[in-house]
């Protein structure tokens, strides 16, 4: 996230002692609910660097639970089809739901 207050509250995992701004409480509550069933981390990055993350987050919000991951290989040295992409397509992700994987 590019929101320092949100990153601090989520990293502290104690919204009662660090409640953050009132407008963030619905987002913080959503993170708390997700934290009970999923593993994730939240870090603070600059707004400019956040453009890709913002795009991926918008895609994730539109998809409740992705049933497939978008794989793309741009590595010139890889065969076609890419062995890495094929392996990842059959990998057991457990509770993780990757949206996209880019092989460079």
What is the residue whose two structure tokens read 């094929």?
86
57 lies in the same domain as 71:
no
pLDDT in tens, 68-85: 677 777 777 777 777 777
37 lies in the same domain as 54:
yes
* The pLDDT value given to residue 18: 62
Number of compact structural domains in the chain:
2
Residue among 50, 65, 48 at smallest CA distance from 7 = 50
39 lies in the same domain as 84:
no
Separation between Cα atoms, residue 35 and residue 11, nearest integer Å:
11
pLDDT in tens, 7-37: 777 777 665 666 666 677 777 778 777 777 7
Helix (H, G, I), strand (E, B), or coil: what is residue 61? helix
Write down which residue in 46, 62, 78 finishes a domain.
62
**Phi, psi (5° rounding) for residue 100?**
-150, 150
The boundaries of the domain holding residue 77 are 64-104
pLDDT in tens, 36-52: 777 777 788 887 777 87
5 lies in the same domain as 41:
yes
2 lies in the same domain as 38:
yes
């Amino acid at each position: 996230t590019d929101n320092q207050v949100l990153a601090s509250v989520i990293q502290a995992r104690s919204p009662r002692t660090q409640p953050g701004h009132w407008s963030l409480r619905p987002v913080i509550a959503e993170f708390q609910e997700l934290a009970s069933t999923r593993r994730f981390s939240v870090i603070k990055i600059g707004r400019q660097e956040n453009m890709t993350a913002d795009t991926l987050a918008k895609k994730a919000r539109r998809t409740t639970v992705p049933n497939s991951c978008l794989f793309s290989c741009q590595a010139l040295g890889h065969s076609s089809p890419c062995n890495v992409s094929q392996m990842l397509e059959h990998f057991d992700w457990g509770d993780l739901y990757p949206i996209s994987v880019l092989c460079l």
